Amino acid sequence: MIICTGARKIVALFIVVCSLCFNFYQSKAQNTKPKFKVIAFYTGREDKAHISFMHEANKWFPAMGKKYNFTYDSTKNWNDMTPELLSKYQVVIFLDTRPDEPAQRAAFEQYMKKGGGWMGFHFSAFALTPSAYPQNWDWYHNEFLGSGQYKSNTWHPTSAILRVEDAKHPVTKGLPVTFKASPNEWYRWENDLRTNPNIKILLSIDSTSFPLGTGPKQSEIWHSGYYPVVWTNKNYRMVYFNMGHNDMDYDGGTNKELSQTFGNEVQDKLIMNTLLWLGTGKK
């Protein structure tokens, strides 16, 4: 009788321990469920500076995913841009170019109009007619981005002092009023974004940056003007960054990478603020 009672106690204790273990691992599994999912599209050809940034981004974002608990996938197959695939992700990133096929464009526009999140870098906003990337997508360049065509750029890639235009926005929360960005080729656009009521400019180039660029062409050195570099469209969950062009040793002929986009503490915070805002609606 004593042996039987002891055995029952052991069995009961075993059941309790198993239950506790099960609840622990179930809770742990729930806590490690990704907060959101990200997919990045890229082309990765022609300009070595854009390719350098693409490789850098495809290492940096997965590392951030482990830290902030989100998944990051990437693909160079733009045909993957279908309503079915996009519906599985909360955020889409364009690392360099944009979709060119009508079906791809339609899928992306539908995704954004249904509340999807988007982050675009540097060349993803480029359009110039005539060029290999003509302005033949009015919704994207004029309505969504609001910038229209590319007009000019600085050269060589250099750091700029950026000014926060809206300190209350989740994207800029916790950033200093001004900070030094990583070296970049800065773009000027056809449209004045300040006149577009749908566009909220978040950061621009501060006047202390001038002269910006080293030439050799005088048109590649900016001495004055207003240049937005990060903005959002109030009608969509999106943010565009002008950053994404690393400095390369083109002049020396080595094509060596001379700078990186990531690794700048404040700029990294800006990008992560944006991604967490787009992915979860929270900072």
- At residue 263, the 3 state secondary structure works out as coil
Domain membership of residue 12 (yes or no) is no
Number of domains in the chain: 1
Domain membership of residue 160 (yes or no) is yes
Q: At what angle do helices 265-280 and 48-68 cross, to 10 degrees?
A: 60
Radius of gyration of the chain (CA): 24
Q: Is residue 19 predicted with pLDDT exceeding 70?
A: no
Domain membership of residue 211 (yes or no) is yes
pLDDT category at 199 given cuts 50, 70, 90 is very high
pLDDT digits (tens, 9 = 90+) for 179-194: 999 999 999 999 999 9
pLDDT on residue 6 = 56
Question: Taking a C-beta distance cutoff of 8 angstroms, is the pair 271, 170 a contact?
Answer: no
Question: Taking a C-beta distance cutoff of 8 angstroms, is the pair 76, 41 a contact?
Answer: yes
pLDDT digits (tens, 9 = 90+) for 75-88: 999 999 999 999 99
pLDDT category at 25 given cuts 50, 70, 90 is very low
Domain membership of residue 153 (yes or no) is yes
Q: Is residue 23 predicted with pLDDT exceeding 90?
A: no
| Stretch 234-259: mean pLDDT | 97
- At residue 259, the 3 state secondary structure works out as coil
Domain membership of residue 104 (yes or no) is yes
Give me the domain span that covers residue 122: 35-280
CA distance 42 to 78: 8
pLDDT on residue 32 = 80
- The domain that holds 116 is classified in CATH as 3.40.50.880
pLDDT digits (tens, 9 = 90+) for 89-122: 999 999 999 999 999 999 999 999 999 999 999 9
* pTM of the predicted model as reported, rounded to 2 decimal places: 0.88
